[in-house]
């Protein structure tokens, strides 16, 4: 039976005829698929790409492109999955959609493997040849691994590096998770073990966040043994970048992919990329925006230059005295943004767009800045992918 899927606002940017940034689409994301994954699950597609570099100058809505799950083998897709809750009187023996656990087997057309365990309100244990940025939106979902269960909540981010996993529902209401799924390659076939021995990074013992900045939880999972998934790390981001000119501003780094297809590794934050990803790669960050009033009138060319240089993106700044915002920037990236908390304003060359918690945004390499006109901090989850004109 089809389920009613909650609409989600999606804002997509582009350029006008003179090359100035503007909004080209703003409204409920149109690519809605109710009951798409069986057992009452539904999803909304926001963007799909077939190559490592995402096209930035196209005039078509690439959220409508089709793909075979888990996605294009040299690209990826960004979507939200909405799952049903667990009925209060659930009886597994009467569930026609229950699939008992079984030995691993290939499932579907794309590189996905399945071990059963699906029921009317939870997906089965599965593994995809992808690196996933999974961002909890709302509701309840338990992450099940071979090593045990992980409870997480809205705002938490799971970095799923090709792991066996299951999304289990124990509550009655629906749950929603956003997935930025990036093509990867397993070196050992469907076993898909993590390669290398990169040291897992942990926050410095003396790490203190500015007032108003909540620690962003990063949960990294992968397979270090055949057919056995486990947690690699679970805790606050180990790498936080602050802007001294904007008290309360913080970038909390989550993950970096240094190519597409992506590598299956234990850690990636030893790579230096913050705002701008490596060629054919991506960076996942949580950005904390303090109210503009806390720094307005105290920032000029010197402070802006110092900030962009500190994150290795000196060429990103488009600062000018006449710019609509001091921190205007332009990078050759497709930025997938979710407003996790508060209210933010997307500042473009020709207009401004007020965005609220739960809104999704695609910035396709346009000149822009993020502003906070409210009196409270705002939080954005931003996955930036290498792009091409």
pLDDT of residue 40: 64
Residue whose pair of structure tokens reads 């806390």 in the numeric block: 294
CA dist 115 and 311 (Å) reads: 42
Closest CA relative to residue 97, chosen from 73, 68, 117, 69: 117
Give the chain's count of helices (H) and strands (E): 1, 26
Beta strands 333-341 and 240-242 are: unpaired
User: What tens digit of pLDDT does each residue of 20-67 get?
Assistant: 999 999 999 999 998 655 556 899 999 999 999 999 998 999 999 999
CA dist 365 and 159 (Å) reads: 24
Which residues, including other chains, have CB under 8 Å from residue 208's CB and lie 6 or more apart?
none
pLDDT of residue 111: 96
Phi, psi at 81, each rounded to 5°: -110, 130
pLDDT of residue 2: 54
pLDDT of residue 3: 67
Distance of CA 90 to the CA centre of its chain: 32
pLDDT of residue 58: 87
Greatest alpha-carbon pair distance for the chain in Å reads 69
Closest CA relative to residue 28, chosen from 13, 45, 42, 10: 10
Per-residue pLDDT of the chain (389 residues; tens, 9 = 90+): 456 889 999 999 999 999 999 999 999 999 999 865 555 689 999 999 999 999 999 899 999 999 999 999 999 999 999 999 999 999 999 999 999 999 999 998 999 999 999 999 999 999 999 999 999 999 999 999 999 999 999 999 999 999 999 999 999 889 999 999 999 999 999 999 999 999 999 999 999 999 999 999 999 999 999 999 999 999 999 999 999 999 999 999 999 999 999 999 999 999 999 999 999 999 999 999 999 999 999 999 999 999 999 999 999 999 999 999 999 999 999 999 999 999 999 999 999 999 999 999 999 999 999 999 999 999 999 999 999 99
3-class state of residue 331 by DSSP: coil
- pTM for the complete prediction? 0.97
Closest CA relative to residue 194, chosen from 239, 160, 147, 167: 160
Please give the structure tokens belonging to residue 182: 């990036």
Rounded to a whole number of angstroms, the distance between the first and last alpha carbons of the chain is: 42
Distance of CA 223 to the CA centre of its chain: 21
Q: Provide the 10 A C-beta neighbour count for residue 141.
A: 28
CA dist 113 and 107 (Å) reads: 5
């Amino acid at each position: 039976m089809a389920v009613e899927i909650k609409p989600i606002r999606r804002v997509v940017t582009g350029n006008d005829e003179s090359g100035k940034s503007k909004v080209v689409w703003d409204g409920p994301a149109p690519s809605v698929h109710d009951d798409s994954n069986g057992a009452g699950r539904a999803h909304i597609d926001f963007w799909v790409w077939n190559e490592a570099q995402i096209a930035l100058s196209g005039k078509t809505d690439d959220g409508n492109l089709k793909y075979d799950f888990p996605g294009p083998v040299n690209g990826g897709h960004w979507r939200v999955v909405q799952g049903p809750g667990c009925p209060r009187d659930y009886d597994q023996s009467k569930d026609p959609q229950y699939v008992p656990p079984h030995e691993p087997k290939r499932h579907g057309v794309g590189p996905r493997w399945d071990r059963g365990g699906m029921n009317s309100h939870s997906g089965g244990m599965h593994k995809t040849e992808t690196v996933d940025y999974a961002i909890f939106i709302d509701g309840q979902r338990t992450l099940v691994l071979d090593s045990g269960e992980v409870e997480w909540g809205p705002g938490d981010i799971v970095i799923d590096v090709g792991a066996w996993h299951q999304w289990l529902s124990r509550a009655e209401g629906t749950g929603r998770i956003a997935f930025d799924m990036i093509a990867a390659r397993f070196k050992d076939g469907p076993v898909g073990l993590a390669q290398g021995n990169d040291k897992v990074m942990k926050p410095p013992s003396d790490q203190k966040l500015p007032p108003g900045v909540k620690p962003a939880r990063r949960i990294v999972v992968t397979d270090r043994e055949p057919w056995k998934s486990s947690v690699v790390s679970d805790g606050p981001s180990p790498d936080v970048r602050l802007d001294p000119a904007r008290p309360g501003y913080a970038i909390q780094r989550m993950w970096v992919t240094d190519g597409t297809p992506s590598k299956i590794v234990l850690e990636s934050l030893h790579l230096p990329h913050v705002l701008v990803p490596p060629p054919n790669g991506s960076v996942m960050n949580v950005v904390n925006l303090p109210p503009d009033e806390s720094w307005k009138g105290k920032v000029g060319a010197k402070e802006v230059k110092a900030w962009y240089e500190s994150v290795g993106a000196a060429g990103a700044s488009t600062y000018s005295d006449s710019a609509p915002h001091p921190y205007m920037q332009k990078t050759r990236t497709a930025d997938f943004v979710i407003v996790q908390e508060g209210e933010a304003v997307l500042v473009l060359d020709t207009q401004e767009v007020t965005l609220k918690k739960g809104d999704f945004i695609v910035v396709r390499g346009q000149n822009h800045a993020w502003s906070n006109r409210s009196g409270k901090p705002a939080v954005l989850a931003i996955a930036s992918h290498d792009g091409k004109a």
